[in-house]
Amino acid sequence: MPGTMSSVFFFVVVFVISRIISVIGQVRPWSALLPTHLLDLDIASRLHFDPLTTIAVSTDFGNMVKPAPAAAVLFPSSVDDIAALIKTSYLSANPFPIAARGHGHSIHGQATAPKGVVINMHSLGDGVCKKKARINVSSSSTSGVFFADVGGEQLWIDVLEATLEHGLTPRSWTDYLYLTVGGTLSNGGISGQVHRHGPQIANVYEMDVVTAGKGEVVTCSRELNSDLFHAALGGLGQFGVITRARIALERAPQRARWIRLLYDDFSAFTRDQERLISMEEGDKGFDYLEGSLISDESLLNNWRSSFFSEADGARIRSLTTTHGLIYCLELSKYYDKTTAHTLDQEISSALAGLSFIPGLVFSNDVTYVEFLNRVHRGELKLRDQGLWDVPHPWLNLFVPKSRIHDFDAGVFRRILRQNSSTGPILIYPMKKTKWDAQMSTAVPDEEFFYSIGLLRSATDAWEYLENQNKEILRFCEKSCIGFKQYLPHYETRADWEKHFGPKWEKFLAMKTKYDPEAILSPGQKIFTSL
């Protein structure tokens, strides 16, 4: 037996070494891809060229695309390191591509830089002291305006913990808190608070952005360098690397009443959602609102279903047997000791007149942190099952209210009629007035539009789900549904121009001004073809 084990170990070692040699053989020497004078710079010691490091940043959460590896990875110790790298590329005879990578939560390789340099943003905040220094909370405001200056590399969960120490919290969130500040602000940053506070990009006072024009650190706000401020927010990393953001804060609540209501009628479901997000803040509406689809399979394979007890799950499955598909309205209302005495009355008043299925109201009472960090619990469950690091063929769309019933009939009830994949399908409305039209993110041209999130995972043939996504997009195009992709992915310049619509000319002008050599974020494939 010992001899057999030694032989197995020997062959495993030989196999691993052969794979490394094979990979190295496919990667051109870095010197053939990057200017040699990089090694003369102060950042040289923080540039890593070994294949294991570069290959590790050449995939992402989507786990579907495998572009050519980066030539190097920069582990910056300061913002100046990032500026030096970008300036070197800009001044080179052959500028090389650069991508800032936070948590790598993109789906189609948007955070990669084939044959270029990936900036490991987390390196800016490595270490407890360094991380704390990169989150600075302003908690003594006579005007009632509170904010936190936060490094672009910081995870939102760390921002939450740091601000709560001062009794404060950001107003707008994403569902998943283990994403970087710079990453979500480059896209939009949405969750169930959007109807009240707008997306995360609407809750930023100021930023520091390292532009690719000259490798300069530019401070911008609505009043200072406002064109860069508006362009970078939702700008998909095309104009600079966000290294600091001043985030709006408010007083933090202590707890959340977490409620789910079930519907078997799509019209009633959407009508009630729109009614609830139309409540003025003075009407004491809900702080969070999202919706989702539930089928028998999705209830079993959905990490969000941990909300329901085993007995609740049995009741819901009986409904899906009858109706095939039901809709779930998810709400939350925050409170603390000073507001707890009116909570039940306010919730009852807000729910009065809604058309959910009688008797199917499910409620949990949790801490504010437990509610905001709810997805992480699902993540840990999936990691234990080996189901987290699998392909994620996600599709996120904004669909105008006027066409949401067409979308339900054509997508939910036809294309997805046999959805057995793991992961939730979200649907909830938001208001265009909560979005700043000057910012880069493209949204439909209607006051109400719906966020649709097909957040599915594939344990085997992910190509099937990706093809299904393409079928959904073809249906929307053919039906002239004026949708927009959120976290967009296109292959041609024409598609990008159509996506941005009237914003395209401004987007192009900002690219020319702040990244004239098209150095940044090549993985988006807006100005580069990989």
Q: Enumerate the active-site residues.
A: 105, 175, 290
Q: Is 141 helix (H, G, I), strand (E, B) or coil?
A: coil
Q: Classify the phi-psi angles of 464: left when phi > 0, otherwise alpha if psi is within -120 to 50, otherwise beta.
A: alpha
Residue 221 contacts residue 206 (beta carbons within 8 Å): yes
Q: What are the angstrom distances between the C-alpha of 358 and each of 61, 344, 362, 522?
A: 40, 18, 11, 51
What distance in Å separates the CA atoms of residue 378 and residue 304, rounded to the nearest whole number? Answer: 7
Structure tokens at 85: 């790298």
The candidate with the shortest Cα–Cα distance to 370, out of 253, 453, 273, is 253
What distance in Å separates the CA atoms of residue 152 and residue 185, rounded to the nearest whole number? Answer: 9
What distance in Å separates the CA atoms of residue 376 and residue 369, rounded to the nearest whole number? Answer: 11
Structure tokens at 164: 């709560």
* Alpha helices (runs of H) in 165-295, residue ranges in sequence order: 181-185, 194-197, 226-232, 266-277
What distance in Å separates the CA atoms of residue 19 and residue 104, rounded to the nearest whole number? Answer: 24
Give the pairing type, strands 484-485 and 395-400.
Answer: antiparallel
Structure tokens at 137: 């909370």
State the residue for tokens 């009237």. Answer: 502
Residue 210 contacts residue 216 (beta carbons within 8 Å): yes
State the residue for tokens 């090389």. Answer: 96
Rg of the chain's alpha carbons, rounded to an integer? 24
Instruction: Count Cβ neighbours within 10 Å for each residue of 204-216 and write b for 16 or more, e otherwise.
Output: bebbbbbbbbebe
DSSP state of 409: I
Residue 154 contacts residue 131 (beta carbons within 8 Å): yes
